[in-house]
Amino acid sequence: MADGSLTGPQIPAHATSSPLRASWRGLPASLRVALIYLGARAITTAIMLGVAAFAAPGSRHGPNPSVFDFVLGWDAQWYWLIAESGYPLTLPTGVDGAVVENAWAFMPVYAYLAKWVGFGVWGAGALFISLLSGYLACLVFYRLMCERLDRSAATWAVIFLACGPMAAMFQVGYAESLALLWLLLALWCVVHRRFGWLYLLVPLMGFTRPGVLAFALMLAMYGIWRWMRRRSDPLPPTQIVHIVALGLFSALVGFAWPVIVGFATGDAGAYLATELAWRRPWVGEGVFIPFSAWVQGAEFWFGRAWGLGAVTGYVVLALLLGGAAAALLLLPCVRRLQVEVRLWAAAYIVYLLAVFFPQSSVFRLLFPLSPLWGAVAVPRSPWWRGGVFVACVLGQWCWIALMYGVGTAYWQVP
């Protein structure tokens, strides 16, 4: 796999580099990524310690919480509950009889793997998995980026990923870090047409966190793209079979969990009722209609919460969607990435629009778009890259301070 620039003549490193830079370039990629990742985790830990030191008595974790309290905070409690007690066979309900938040909203792989890895100490296992998965994800990401970007841009892409606003996910009890590893491995397999491995990775993705339906959509778009280019890029029958079969398999895995939940509880609509329970505080009772939640979100946030009017929300939503589409289609830095990465980004955005109600967790749910950090790293200006790095660290601080250091308002949910 290439580990250098794909364009232009190469200048010997000793001709332009300091001894320190030459030594850095001489290190194996796995060690360079490890050093970047360790530095990033030190930054995140320092932010957590600083936030914990100033936590108020009325904050979610109380005064003077430890970093480990943050590791086990919020959704980590649900995963811990699943590992210790399993899933409820009867859906819990409130005084009004409506289904309330419960463990069925969370997939089993991370929960049970953490207990197994931690030898029964779930928190230790969860932290270990998140940390290790994050490093491996960064390493796979680096290798993937090196195939289209020069080594400097690929390195900066890893720095942005490891230090990004959601970097706390690499060291708290959430499944995002593990899910990102599965995703990047799956994208690597598609790029290199190692389709056989996807029959293992797709179930791992599907039962780690929701989102494998987006991968099914990506494979459908990928198949169309390959078919349209079959004259210049031959598409053997075996690959056609794999692409179609994996697309259908991904869709099957995506719908399997709701079926499992319905079978276990005796209620065919149990999973949907569970997911709707999380948006009830914002929109009240309702039915699930694909792609309607973002319109409801625009009405709630711009109309009721901020008093700017629902029409303003519709305009902002349209601008965001148009901007995202234009960026994926037109920006040169984005077009530098593999088409598979761009197709994934488009598919995942469509998936979020179809199923998710926008609230503060939307920033965390954008985490699977992390491969786009490669596009952010393309501009070579040190001012740009340094500015992005500072913005990443400030974003971390804001996220951790608001969601973990305070975490008492309805808009402070990670």
- Would you say residue 23 lies in a domain? no
- Would you say residue 241 lies in a domain? yes
- Would you say residue 5 lies in a domain? no
Q: What is the pLDDT of residues 45-95, one digit of tens each?
A: 999 999 999 998 999 999 999 999 999 999 999 999 999 999 999 999 998
Q: What is the mean pLDDT of the chain?
A: 93
Average pLDDT over every residue of 124-141:
98
Does the pLDDT value for residue 3 go beyond 60? no
Cα–Cα distance for residue pair 260/203, rounded to 1 Å: 14
Chain centroid to Cα 127, Å, comes to 17
Residue % of the chain over a pLDDT of 70: 96
- Per-residue model confidence (pLDDT) at position 11: 42
Phi, psi of 266 (to 5 degrees): 80, 15
Average pLDDT over every residue of 366-394:
97
- Would you say residue 411 lies in a domain? no
Does the pLDDT value for residue 224 go beyond 80? yes
pTM comes to 0.94
- Would you say residue 86 lies in a domain? yes
- Would you say residue 21 lies in a domain? no
Average pLDDT over every residue of 201-227:
98
In the structure, what pLDDT confidence band is assigned to residue 382 with cuts at 50, 70 and 90?
very high
Residue % of the chain over a pLDDT of 90: 87
- Would you say residue 11 lies in a domain? no
Q: What is the pLDDT of residues 164-210, one digit of tens each?
A: 999 999 999 999 999 999 999 999 999 999 999 999 999 999 999 99
Residue 396: which of 57, 30, 46, 80 has the closest Cα? 46
DSSP-assigned letters across all residues of 344-378: HHHHHHHHHHHH---STTHHHHTGGGGGGHHHHT-
Does the pLDDT value for residue 403 go beyond 50? yes
Chain centroid to Cα 408, Å, comes to 24
Q: Could you say which DSSP state residue 175 is in?
A: S
Residue spans of alpha helices (H) in 266-372: 270-283, 293-298, 310-330, 332-335, 339-355, 362-365
Average pLDDT over every residue of 345-369:
95
- Would you say residue 266 lies in a domain? yes
In the structure, what pLDDT confidence band is assigned to residue 17 with cuts at 50, 70 and 90?
low
Tokens of 372: 């786009």
In the structure, what pLDDT confidence band is assigned to residue 12 with cuts at 50, 70 and 90?
very low
Does the pLDDT value for residue 146 go beyond 60? yes
Cα–Cα distance for residue pair 207/219, rounded to 1 Å: 18
Domain total of the chain: 1
Domain membership of residue 269 as a residue range: 29-406
Which of 181 and 283 is assigned the larger pLDDT? 181
Distant-in-sequence, close-in-space partners of 337: CB < 8 Å, separation ≥ 6: 145, 148, 371, 372, 374, 375
Average pLDDT over every residue of 121-129:
97
